[in-house]
Structure 1
Amino acid sequence: MFPNEHVYQRARNRSVAEGRRCVQADGGKKMWKPHEACEVNNVALPGRCVYAQNDSYLELCNSGWEQQWKTGIGTVFVLLPCLLVFWGFYGFALHPLFTGEMIFLWFGVFEARPIFVWFGWLLMLPLSIGCCVLLWLWFDIMGARTCFFTFARGRIRFNRVTRKVYLLRPKSCGGNAVFDWDRLRAIVDMDGYDLLARKNGAPGKAAYYSLIIYAPPYDPADPEAKGEDAIFVGPSLSMQSQAAPLWEYIRRYMETGPTIDQIPENSPSRSKQIPRYIAQGYSTFCGKPDVRQYKLEQHPGVMETAYHMLSQVTCSWPTFPREWQSDSGKGEPEDRPVQTGAVMTALVYRARGKLSNADELELLTHWGTADALAEATAKL
């Protein structure tokens, strides 16, 4: 799901100024540079947002995954009534023109009568036009189409070796892109989804937040603002204050790299260390999850899972172009989950029996319990 990316691209296509207002890059917000330490007391990752982390790259998801089931259920309740109205218009108004008979929903074919034909044209036609407008609003303006027949999720890879950021997203949302790390800026105090969606912060409407990384144009004087873009990093955040610690984590990772193997459980909450081996709770599966995997990560209800899967089944998993060499030799999380630090992916592969004995031993050494490690060692 790419709701933020979709809204930004729509605004950007209207005008450069409107695109900047959309992500609050028009001068009203502080934009943090990569070499500037953000004013936070801690660095932190939100839960379930890291595909992989190793000495070469940190790969994160985009926002919207947690909301995708809502779009799935919304689409059902928008699309089905509209299809019913379209079928009624055809049966009462159009079919009689071709055959002299009318179709009454699913009850059969009957002889056309003028009163019913007039009913089709005078009532069902305006309703059909209204349904077309509703579908346009839902799928295009509100961005529901970014949940179907596109990438399942976005992927943002921060590479310390190449000093670049690699982004995978649908063409309709800006397409895949590569950015130089040093020219990026972070916007950590956006006012919420209402402003992003151009609702102007309507009172009473729930907002969610996102870390925005802004790429300024190559030439500030360029009226077309070539090179300007926005990246929405990490999951949807429930509080504005969560964006700054996430940005500081990314910034410290890129500038200094991991500083400790693991952060002990009794470590103070305001730790500023970057662990080499992230905890399992921060990791998310790199790929299209099945029902069990989705439930493990998101803890949804039965209906939430069903509607999410309804959306996901139409989507494909994005992969980085080989010519980018964005993995810097580490490999892809889908292929080498243990070596790349794709914790959740490695755990899933282990449960499916897809890990070698050596990979399983390495996985349990860094992320397993002492008992599980001892059991795996005894089998060798």
Structure 2
Amino acid sequence: MYLYEWLAFDGYEKNDCSERVTGTKKQKKYSANTAPVNVSRCMSESASDNSSLYSYNNIYIDVRTPNDEKRGAITLSVGMGGLMLLLAAVAATWFPIEDLIRGADVNGLHLGWEFYIFSVLLTPMTCWGGLYLYFRYAFRHLRLEAFTARRLIVRFNRITRKVYLLRPKHLGGVVALDWDKAEVFLDPDMSEAQGIDGFVLLGWDKESHGVFDAQGQPKDTLEVTFVGKPTRDATELLAFWEYIRRYMEYGPEAAPRPQRLLSKFPWPWNSFKAAWRLDTGFVGKPALWFFILLNLLLLPVILIHGFFHWVSLLLCYEPTFPKAIEQAGRPLDGTG
């Protein structure tokens, strides 16, 4: 789920901001030569929240990241592999102990030298060794969607004019970024097709000096973040960015509260809806029936995906911003 963020954080000391963005599949989808644009530039005549907001008030909006639906597969493959290794290691240890206590095997036969070599030494060592290798090399991949923060949140605070990234430490941690020093990687002249499955990319390079840690101390680094639910076309993508821009530049009057905010509670039906991925925007169109038929044919796979999507949510914790960021921009009496 956090693959893009993980790749970006892993490349902090190797590449500059534009190279890191270009290195992802999505940036290649737009254009390898897309130049960053200042956040003050208007890119659309319309504005849309793109059903991407967790919170909305007069001070800030909390926005989701693109890959919330893309979870479950790693939990299924890597997670089940680790569970099987653990069970095998426990069984390879427990059963020989039972035989040693009993003084004979399950059939009542005497414990020979082969028992001590294979059951006591080789099999447990192999299983526990495999489990060690799993935690050393595979577990970090499981943490892309399990045993980590349930979601990444991008907060746009119009009072402090900061963008706050809420991430676990292995993805860069919590940082505060200057809104006015941000650059958006969007092409206002992109074709409609280039906006399919698109999302907003924001970057801050080292020279901008716009990156701070959670305590407000400057950091000599670069940052990039991915914002919003994947869109259906370029018009929707540019309108979503315009919604964020208007909120930050002009306030809530220019970007009204969405009719519905995203829920953070891990309801199971939301996981199955994410796995189903049937766009309701096709309702009333002939193309809808093709997607319905395709999803019905893949229903067993969708159910498995949805179940492990939900399991991955249950294996994660709900993240919260530090108190200083929660209070940022609020009046001294705590209202607002």
TM (norm. structure 1) is: 0.58
- The partner residue of 1:233 within 224, 227, 230 is 227
What does residue 11 of structure 1 align with? 11
Matches within 5 A, 1:211-250: 211-218=200-207, 226-237=220-231, 243-250=237-244
What does residue 270 of structure 1 align with? none
Secondary structure at the counterpart of residue 172 of structure 1: helix
- The partner residue of 1:57 within 60, 65, 89 is 60
Secondary structure at the counterpart of residue 54 of structure 2: strand
RMSD: 4.6
How much has 1:109 moved relative to structure 2?
A: 10
What does residue 30 of structure 1 align with? 35
Could you tell me how far apart the structure 2 residues matched to 1:103 and 1:30 are?
74
How much has 1:111 moved relative to structure 2?
A: 3.2
Could you tell me how far apart the structure 1 residues matched to 2:109 and 2:198 are?
53
Could you tell me how far apart the structure 2 residues matched to 1:109 and 1:318 are?
56
Could you tell me how far apart the structure 2 residues matched to 1:230 and 1:108 are?
65
**Deviations, residues 138-163 of structure 1 (Å, cap 9, x unaligned):** 432xx430323332112211122221
Matches within 5 A, 1:210-289: 210-218=199-207, 226-237=220-231, 243-259=237-253, 274-280=254-260, 283-285=261-263, 287-289=264-266
Cα distance 1:115–1:289, how it changes in 2: closer, same or farther (>3 A)?
A: closer
How much has 1:246 moved relative to structure 2?
A: 2.6
How much has 1:133 moved relative to structure 2?
A: 5.3
Aligned-pair identity (%): 22
Conserved? CA contact 1:258–1:276, under 8 Å: yes
What does residue 163 of structure 2 align with? 165
Could you tell me how far apart the structure 1 residues matched to 2:235 and 2:135 are?
35
Could you tell me how far apart the structure 1 residues matched to 2:68 and 2:333 are?
25
Could you tell me how far apart the structure 2 residues matched to 1:126 and 1:18 are?
43
What one-letter code is carried by the residue in structure 1 that aligns with 2:311?
L
How much has 1:64 moved relative to structure 2?
A: 2.3
Matched, 1:146 2:144: yes
Secondary structure at the counterpart of residue 229 of structure 2: strand
How much has 1:185 moved relative to structure 2?
A: 0.9
Secondary structure at the counterpart of residue 58 of structure 1: strand
What does residue 374 of structure 1 align with? none
Conserved? CA contact 1:44–1:245, under 8 Å: yes
Could you tell me how far apart the structure 2 residues matched to 1:208 and 1:131 are?
38
Conserved? CA contact 1:91–1:102, under 8 Å: no
Could you tell me how far apart the structure 1 residues matched to 2:184 and 2:308 are?
33
How much has 1:208 moved relative to structure 2?
A: 5.8
Cα distance 1:176–1:85, how it changes in 2: closer, same or farther (>3 A)?
A: same
How much has 1:310 moved relative to structure 2?
A: 2.0
Conserved? CA contact 2:17–2:205, under 8 Å: no
Matched, 1:77 2:55: no
Cα distance 1:297–1:51, how it changes in 2: closer, same or farther (>3 A)?
A: farther
Secondary structure at the counterpart of residue 176 of structure 2: strand
Could you tell me how far apart the structure 1 residues matched to 2:126 and 2:167 are?
37
How much has 1:321 moved relative to structure 2?
A: 2.6
Cα distance 1:211–1:126, how it changes in 2: closer, same or farther (>3 A)?
A: farther
Could you tell me how far apart the structure 2 residues matched to 1:235 and 1:184 are?
20
Conserved? CA contact 1:57–1:159, under 8 Å: yes
What one-letter code is carried by the residue in structure 2 that aligns with 1:289?
P
Cα distance 1:88–1:80, how it changes in 2: closer, same or farther (>3 A)?
A: same
Cα distance 1:137–1:19, how it changes in 2: closer, same or farther (>3 A)?
A: farther
Conserved? CA contact 1:151–1:170, under 8 Å: yes
Conserved? CA contact 1:148–1:312, under 8 Å: yes
Cα distance 1:144–1:179, how it changes in 2: closer, same or farther (>3 A)?
A: same
Q: Which segments of 5 or more consecutive residues in structure 2 lack a partner in the other structure?
A: 188-195, 210-218, 277-301
Deviates more, 1:68-77 or 1:19-28: 19-28
Could you tell me how far apart the structure 1 residues matched to 2:156 and 2:183 are?
14
**Deviations, residues 148-179 of structure 1 (Å, cap 9, x unaligned):** 33321122111222211122111111111111
Q: Which segments of 5 or more consecutive residues in structure 1 lack a partner in the other structure?
A: 190-206, 260-273, 341-380
Cα distance 1:103–1:66, how it changes in 2: closer, same or farther (>3 A)?
A: farther
What one-letter code is carried by the residue in structure 2 that aligns with 1:184?
A
Conserved? CA contact 2:159–2:329, under 8 Å: no
Cα distance 1:36–1:309, how it changes in 2: closer, same or farther (>3 A)?
A: same
What one-letter code is carried by the residue in structure 2 that aligns with 1:216?
D
Could you tell me how far apart the structure 2 residues matched to 1:219 and 1:107 are?
74
TM (norm. structure 2) is: 0.65
**Deviations, residues 178-228 of structure 1 (Å, cap 9, x unaligned):** 111100111237xxxxxxxxxxxxxxxxx96542211111468xxxx8141
Conserved? CA contact 1:55–1:276, under 8 Å: no
Conserved? CA contact 2:274–2:306, under 8 Å: no
What does residue 350 of structure 1 align with? none
